[in-house]
Amino acid sequence: MASRRAGEQFILAGRVAVNGQPVRLLGSKIDPDHDQVAVDGKLIHAKKLVYIALNKPVGCVCSRQDELDRPTIYDLLPREWDTVQSVGRLDYNSEGLIFLTNDGQFALRLTHPRYGIRKKYLATVEGEVTPAMLQLFREGIFHEGERLKALATRMVSHTRAKSVVELELGEGKNREVRRLFESQALTVRKLQRTQIGKIRLGELKPGKWRTLNAVEIKTLISDL
108 and 203 within one domain: yes
- Residues 53, 199: contact at Cβ < 8 Å? yes
Tell me which of 116 and 20 has the higher pLDDT.
20
81 and 67 within one domain: yes
Q: What is the domain range of residue 82? A: 51-114+199-222
Give pTM, 2 decimals.
0.82
pLDDT bin (cut points 50, 70, 90) of residue 112 is: confident
Burial of 8 (0-12, 13-18, 19+ CB in 10 A): middle
191 and 123 within one domain: yes
Q: What is the C-alpha radius of gyration for the chain, rounded to an integer number of angstroms?
A: 22
Active site annotation includes 91: yes
217 and 179 within one domain: no
pLDDT bin (cut points 50, 70, 90) of residue 26 is: very high
83 and 28 within one domain: no
Provide the CATH number for the domain around residue 99: 3.30.70.580
- Residues 99, 108: contact at Cβ < 8 Å? no
73-109 burial, b at 16+ Cβ within 10 Å, e below that, comes to bbebbeeeeeebebbebbeeebbbbbbbbbbeebbeb
Reported as a single tens digit per residue, the pLDDT across 132-159 is 999 999 999 999 889 999 999 999 999 9
Tell me which of 3 and 183 has the higher pLDDT.
183
Tell me which of 207 and 173 has the higher pLDDT.
207
Which pLDDT value is given to residue 224? 54
209 and 157 within one domain: no
Residue by residue, DSSP assigns 75-115 as GGS-GGGTT-EEES---TT-EEEEEEES-HHHHHHHH-TTT
- Average pLDDT value for residue range 18-43: 92
Reported as a single tens digit per residue, the pLDDT across 156-200 is 999 999 999 999 999 878 899 999 999 999 999 999 999 999 999
CA distances from 32 to 5, 46, 125 (A): 20, 8, 52
Provide the CATH number for the domain around residue 20: 3.10.290.10
Total domains present in the chain: 3
Catalytic residue selected from 31, 91, 103, 223: 91
